[in-house]
Structure 1
Amino acid sequence: MAPTHPAETTEARAGSGTQAAGPVTGSGTDRPHHATASVAAILAESADRYPDDVAIIVGEQRITYAELWDQTLAYAGALRAQGVTEGSRVAMLVPNVPDFPRVYYATLALGAVVVPVHALLKRHEIEYVLRDSGAALLVCAAPLLAEGAAGAALAGVDVVTVLAPGDDAATPPRLEALAASSAPLTTYTPRDPFDTATILYTSGTTGQPKGAEGSHFALLEQVNTLLMSTFDMHRGDVLLGALPLFHTFGQTCTMNTGFRTGATIVMLPKFDGATALTAMVEHHCGIFMGVPTMYMALLDAALRSEERPTLRYAISGGASLPLAVLERFQTVFGAPIHEGYGLTETSPVASFNHVGRTPRPGTIGTPIWGIEVEIADPGTTDAVVLLPRGEIGELVIRGHNLMNGYLNRPGDTAAAIVDGWFRTGDLGTKDDQGFLTIVDRTKDMIIRNGYNVYPREVEEVLATHPDVTMAAVFGVPHDLHGQEIAAAVVLGDGATTTSDELVHFVADAIAAYKYPRVVHVLDALPLGPSGKVLKRELVDRFSGAVADAEPTTAG
């Protein structure tokens, strides 16, 4: 079957999310094909093939694949009794506990659409997601009910809960109890491959968050490609499930890919370096996936413990991992790090330092199978004009991993997908061997006195200082220079370096127009739910707090 390109289907899908309600059967369909697919098959098939293998470990609890699928079918029966049908949108506000996959795959088994909600959102943000997605129901974990139930009330959406005490009459209906009194499903409902399976909301760094619609086809093809030719993952591997499952990285690369291959996922409801290190050692984790802040936290925890897991390799994504951090981790943990790149809109992985090949530190590797990643002129918005190898431009992506579009936003979809290419907003280069390097986000680039300054380059220098554990570089408005360069850092225990010393340290290493004029020493950097540094909060906080004095060491 020749798949229709997402750019060609966006207008038809915008506003409705999931087109048809149900499997393609008989001769009455107006569709040009009869193929079916479901992301729910990931868990169903593994439960059939590896029923007694352990799918999830949380603390002392171990759940086999057969048990997890039976529990999922019971939850599906309960959701069906609550009125969830094919094409319904079910929002879920659940941390990294077994109820996340139960609710996720139960929703998909009904032929409904999953809308994962970031666990750190407040009630008005939750209200926005529920209204924008057209959610029919919110499944909310009891510890998150304060904001979740309030947001649902504002949106006029019903709530059922998980993890609530059985004797608490003040909580919404418990999904566990509803499942016990409802008839379970016997299998999953097949869908058209290009029906929407998930609606994942972007972080909203520019304007309101947008709901990216991921199709069953894109999500399944992503998992199969990762297993076939990108990762090295097999039945029986043990993965640390530290990435938040409501985010595309953890949801696809850890959960869907792990379950597809029959791996065991050690779930952490809340990440911290010491807990993660202990869990990896105890359960003999062979693969770790994380964002840069997690690597920094593990390195910090390793300073206070001599225990080390038997890692085969690690995967980093979500943001650029400073080379100094990468090298320290590989030395301390004795495992190579493979960096990759992707976005919510690309399911997520688009390029990767493929496992089995020597990774090239500082790059995001080469495009994964079936995906094209090229460099385009960022100044041409109505067409994609590709640039020669080696030039800096905007990364553009096309292939089987693209979203259907942004829910109810045909204009935003048309601006994002041009000539069949998804415009990422990230700046980078591609060399003659096909290796891609991210320079920075287009929106994060700083223009000082007409010169382009890429924060990542400056962050790489700060990361080499022995006292610095985390660093973020950002631009703030300046009357004379247009923008001025500032930095915020977190220092390690016992560090004695000062802000001025760090300014001099960077000024000695890079050109005079690039170094930060002030370095703010903080206890912690503001992080989003997926572990990314929220630079916009730093810009808001420190705008106007830049000195004009130049260090005497600067050229």
Structure 2
Amino acid sequence: MNLASHVVDSARIHPDRAALRLGDAAVSYRALDQGSARMAGVLHDRGVKPGDRVAVMLPNVPEFALAYFGVLRAGGIVVPMNPLLKSREVAYYLGDSGARLLFAWHTFADEARTGAQQAEAESVVVSPGSLDELLVSARPTEHLTDRHEDATAVILYTSGTTGQPKGAELTHANLTRNCDIVATELFRLTADDVIFGGLPLFHAFGQTCILNAAVTAGACLTLLPRFDAGKALGIEGYGTSETSPVASFNTLQAGPKPGSVGIPIRGVEMRVVDKDSMDSKEVPHGETGEITIRGHNVMKRYWQRPEATAAAIRDGWFYTGDIGRVDQDGYFWIVGWTKDVIIRGGYNVYPREVEDVLYEHPAVADALRSR
């Protein structure tokens, strides 16, 4: 199994269709296939072997897809990174993951270079057209490196509010099955569809629901390097980096419930348990508790953190740390976070509940909290 097989399949079926668009420029599926094959050749020439980690610090530009699928084709592990990271953070991500090669966008080159130097990693600065120059001289690696379905494909770092970010190991099976469900069942994508690419591709939802779903369907992904709320519309779902990421969704078939995060996707179970009980007893409908998730989408483990893994995954269930409830129709609602709670008079009060009350006042336009 290899997640990059979706590129090969779509290029075979729709070679001349646009895979990616940025402004007036387009990249066909044939070009994406050939470009990612050449990227795999570049990586091979630089000594990247199956299982090696390669960091990608790029915004929503075609170069992200070329690097992402090139690493996967070579059998490497992609470490996506926010382009806005500072040098200290860059050094941490590279050092923790063991990535010795970083592809960074030219706009953020100074921070990327400094961080890479601190982590003793090589940095390759990418600018419009520069990657094409690098690839044109490379010998393409036509075949996909075979990887076991349980082999790690991507290490996504969680943005936890306490301690250092942890790397969630997502396997080829995790990501392939999750994006297949998104493309064929949740969105019902076809090759005639055009997908708005506003979610950041370094994020779990951007990769699964945008990039991989589009490529799976042979659809066209229109990229937006910087999010503009005026150009975007909201569709609600739920998941975490550790769940590849989609766990539930307001599906077209079941119909949406505004404010909820929908129902579990196929092959995934969700439940709400009493976070204070020793046996994680499931709470009745309508009562709040911690949301737990089990299914093909749950990560393999946290990268090099066995204790954190043991605390988060118990008896096959991933404990999200999110507080929610489920209604009589099986729709889930998020109300807070386990570490984001106010205890008043012996009662647990979640900020989301306070926000909901504030929203009812006609003079309140928005209610925000900071952690």
Q: TM-score, normalised by structure 2?
A: 0.95
Q: Which residue of structure 2 aligns with residue 49 of structure 1?
A: 13
| C-alpha distance 76-425 of structure 1, shift in aligned 2 (>3 A) | same
Query: Within 1, Cα distance between the matches of 2:131 and 2:42?
Result: 7
What residue number does 2:290 align with?
394
* Offset of residue 357 of structure 1: 2.8
Is 1:384–1:419's contact at 8 Å kept on the other side of the alignment? no
State whether residues 162 and 176 of structure 1, in contact with CA within 8 Å, keep that contact through their aligned partners in structure 2. Answer: no
Tell me, yes or no, if the aligned pair for 2:169 and 2:300 is still in contact at 8 Å: yes
* Cα-to-partner distance string for 1:16-75 (whole Å, 9 max, x where unaligned): xxxxxxxxxxxxxxxxxxxxx111112111111111111111011011111111111112
Instruction: Tell me how far 1:384 sits from its aligned partner.
Output: 3.2
Is there any run of 5+ residues in structure 1 with no aligned partner, and where?
1-36, 166-173, 278-287, 289-294, 296-313, 316-338, 474-534, 537-555
Partner of 2:125: 161
Q: Report which structure shows greater RCO (CA 8 Å, sep ≥6).
A: 2
- Amino acid of the structure 1 residue aligned with 2:12: D
Deviation at 1:347, TM superposition (A): 0.5
Measured after TM superposition, the shift of residue 178 of structure 1 is: 3.1
In structure 2, the partner of 1:365 is 262
Aligned-partner residue type, residue 423 of structure 1: Y
For residues 268-323 of structure 1, the C-alpha deviation after alignment (integer angstroms, 9 at most, x for no partner) is 1112234xx3xxxxxxxxxx6xxxxxx5xxxxxxxxxxxxxxxxxx52xxxxxxxx
Aligned residues: percent identity? Answer: 46
Shift of 1:464: 5.4
Residue in 2 that maps onto 1:216: 172
1:413 counterpart letter in structure 2 = T
- What SS does structure 1 have at the residue aligned with 2:281? coil
* Residue number in structure 1 paired with 2:244: 347
Q: Is the 8 A contact 2:39 2:66 kept in 1?
A: yes
Q: CA separation in 2, counterparts of 1:469 and 1:61?
A: 39
Taking the TM superposition and a 5 Å limit, the aligned residue runs for 1:196-211 are 196-211=152-167
Distance 2:353 2:84 in 1: 30
1:80 aligns with 2:44: yes
1:260 matched residue in structure 2: 216
Equivalent pair of 2:158/2:167 in contact (CA under 8 Å): yes
CA distance in structure 2 between the partners assigned to 1:385 and 1:411 by the alignment: 23
**Contact residue 353 and residue 366 of structure 1 kept, 8 A:** yes
Contact 1:240–1:265 under 8 Å retained in 2: yes
Query: CA 1:189 to 1:394, structure 2 compared with 1: closer, same or farther past 3 Å?
Result: same
Please report how far the alpha carbon of residue 461 of structure 1 lies from its aligned counterpart in structure 2 after TM superposition. 4.2
SS at match of 2:367: strand
How many residue pairs are counted as aligned between the two chains?
Answer: 371
**Distance in structure 1 (CA, Å) of the matches to 2:159 and 2:91:** 15
Say if 2:47 is the partner of 1:91: no
Of residues 137, 146, 163 in structure 2, which corresponds to 1:190? 146
Kindly state the Cα deviation for residue 466 of structure 1 after the two structures are TM-superposed: 6.3
CA separation in 1, counterparts of 2:362 and 2:138? 58
Q: State TM-score, norm by structure 1.
A: 0.64
Residue from 99, 114, 123 that aligns with 1:135: 99
- Alpha-carbon distance in 2 for matches of 1:228, 1:178: 35
CA contact (8 A) 1:427 1:440 kept: yes
Partner Cα distance (1:101, 1:355) in 2: 28
Aligned equivalent of 2:185, options 229, 233, 238 = 229
**Correspondence for 1:415:** 311
SS at match of 1:471: coil
Query: 1:182 Cα deviation (Å)?
Result: 2.0
Aligned residue among 70, 73, 92 for 1:106: 70
The residue type paired with residue 359 of structure 1 is P
Q: Distance in 1 between matches of 2:205 and 2:61?
A: 16
Q: Could you tell me which residue of structure 2 aligns to residue 487 of structure 1? A: none
Cα offset for 1:161? 2.0
1:469 Cα deviation (Å)? Answer: 5.1
The SS at the match of 2:242 is helix
Alpha-carbon separation, structure 2, partners of 1:135 and 1:419: 31
Determine if the alignment matches structure 1 residue 451 to structure 2 residue 343: no
The whole-number CA distance in structure 1 between the counterparts of 2:192 and 2:361 is: 40
Map of 1:430 onto structure 2: 326
Do the aligned residues in 2 keep the contact of 1:232 with 1:356 (CA within 8 Å)? no
Instruction: Indicate conservation of the 8 Å contact 2:168/2:303, yes or no.
Output: yes
1:455: Cα distance to partner? Answer: 1.6
CA distance in 1: counterparts of 2:67 and 2:361, whole angstroms: 45
- The 1:58–1:463 alpha-carbon spacing in structure 2 relative to 1, beyond 3 Å, is farther
Distance 1:390 1:468 in 2: 27
1:113-124 equivalences in 2 (<5 Å): 113-124=77-88
Determine if contact 2:183/2:214 at 8 Å carries over to the other structure: no
Q: Distance in 2 between matches of 1:441 and 1:393?
A: 10
Question: What is the alpha-carbon distance in structure 2 between the residues aligned to residue 66 and residue 462 of structure 1?
Answer: 52
- Report the CA distance between 1:458 and its aligned residue: 2.8
User: Residues of 2 paired with 1:187 and 1:60: CA distance?
Assistant: 31
Quick one: which of 183, 192, 196 aligns to 1:240?
A: 196
> Any conservation in 1 of the 2:83–2:104 contact (CA below 8 Å)?
no
Of structures 1 and 2, the larger Rg is shown by 1
Question: Are the equivalent residues in 2 in contact too, given 1:76–1:106 (CA < 8 A)?
Answer: yes
Distance, in Å, in 1 between the alignment partners of 2:206 and 2:13 is 23
Where does 1:366-515 land on structure 2 (aligned, <5 Å)?
A: 366-380=263-277, 383-463=279-359, 470-473=366-369
Letter in 1 for 2:257: R
Contact 1:78 1:175 in 2 (8 A): no
Q: State the distance in 2 between where 1:75 and 1:175 align.
A: 9
The answer to whether the 8 Å contact 1:376/1:395 transfers is: yes
Cα distance in 2 for residues equivalent to 1:463 and 1:69: 48
- Alignment partners' CA distance in 2, 1:402 and 1:147: 33
How big is the shift at 1:391? Answer: 2.3
- Aligned residue identity for 1:375: V
Partner residue in 2 for 1:69:
33
1:432–1:184 Cα change, 3 Å: same
CA distance in 1, matches of 2:220, 2:152: 27
